[in-house]
Amino acid sequence: METTYREAMRAALRDAMTRDERVFLMGEDVGRYGGCFAVSMGLLEEFGPERIRDTPLSESAFVGAGIGAAIGGMRPVVEVMTVNFSLLALDQILNNAATLLHMSGGQVAVPLVIRMTTGAGRQLAAQHSHSLEAFYAHIPGLRVLAPATLEDARGMLWPALLDPDPVILFEHGSLYAVSGPLEDAAPEVDITSAAIRRAGADVTVVAWGGCLGKALTAAETLAAEGISAEVVDLRVLRPLDSATVLASVRRTHRAVVVDEGWRSGSLSAEVAARIAEEAFYDLDAPVDRVCSAEVPVPYAKHLEDAALPQAETVAAACRRVVGAGG
């Protein structure tokens, strides 16, 4: 069946709410409006206002309410409209959700899923174009997921709700309208491992979220030039699946990491460091990184495009490392 990323997320919500009456969705405009990105469209009519709950415009309040509901035995899915707004709830996420299981000696689990839209590329300017995955991947006590495919959009939510730890689910805004075939009964997805999306022999390209498609496009371009790129979808940002990345690098002997976050202190820096620490003698060239320019994301389309990783900049990085390695 042909579907979109948006519809796959909606199907995941519907499936979870049908499976378990403790599951409910709460957030800004998720009910009558159908969600800022139309993910929850129609769910209010299907499940009613007790389970599709519109909230006041207070991220700290409704994320805190979600934490309390999770502790009380419910399985809340909290939608934060965009990742920049999640900073208003960072105290709840960092100091409460992520720490309670540890601080209670394993007695108080917080089985909470927080969904949020991330990323740039849609001319939403500096305040609504953040890629802050590295902020959350830095925090022990959280699981951080970045579904980039229809299968992952459909299949990651239910396993996330079964996790005793809080899970952050990053949905890149550029993906909602992406369409393709998806089985009605899509299988659950492994939320512990990275996935190899394209096999290759000459260079490993590590990407996730909105950058995965760019990495795959770059790999197609490179293939026409005789360069075989293996594309690894990191998809689980915490805990990182280093084993899959390192195994790929040991096969190809070169690595490029693509990250829409800013280069300084980015998740790409962590991935590159792990490759350097654990596979240094397998490398035939230095690890290269393709990241966003260190500026607030511009509004003007040509400037926004210039500031973000693109398929061609990924391909250029691959050419550099393959050329450097001989």
Preceding omega of 239 cis (within 30 degrees of 0): yes
pTM score, whole prediction: 0.96
Query: Mean pLDDT across the stretch 165-184?
Result: 95
Q: Which residues of 208-217 are buried (b: 16+ CB within 10 A; e: fewer)?
A: bbbbbbbbbb
Provide, rounded to the nearest whole percent, the portion of the chain with pLDDT above 90: 97
| Mean model confidence pLDDT for the chain | 96
The answer, yes or no, to whether residue 1 has pLDDT greater than 90, is no
pLDDT band at 326 (very low <50, low <70, confident <90, very high): low
> Catalytic residue positions?
59, 128
* CA 145/CA 141 separation, integer angstroms: 13
Provide, rounded to the nearest whole percent, the portion of the chain with pLDDT above 70: 98
The answer, yes or no, to whether residue 324 has pLDDT greater than 80, is no
pLDDT band at 38 (very low <50, low <70, confident <90, very high): very high
Question: Residue 184 has what pLDDT?
Answer: 73
Q: Which long-range contacts (CB under 8 A, 24 or more apart) does 102-110 make?
A: 102/140, 102/141, 108/71, 109/70, 109/71, 109/164, 109/165, 110/67, 110/70, 110/71, 110/164, 110/165, 110/166
Quick: pLDDT tens for 48-89. 999 999 999 999 999 999 999 999 999 999 999 999 999 999
* CA 244/CA 232 separation, integer angstroms: 8
- Are residues 308 and 292 in contact, defined by beta-carbon separation less than 8 angstroms? yes
pLDDT band at 183 (very low <50, low <70, confident <90, very high): confident
The answer, yes or no, to whether residue 201 has pLDDT greater than 60, is yes
Quick: pLDDT tens for 220-262. 999 999 999 999 999 999 999 999 999 999 999 999 999 999 9
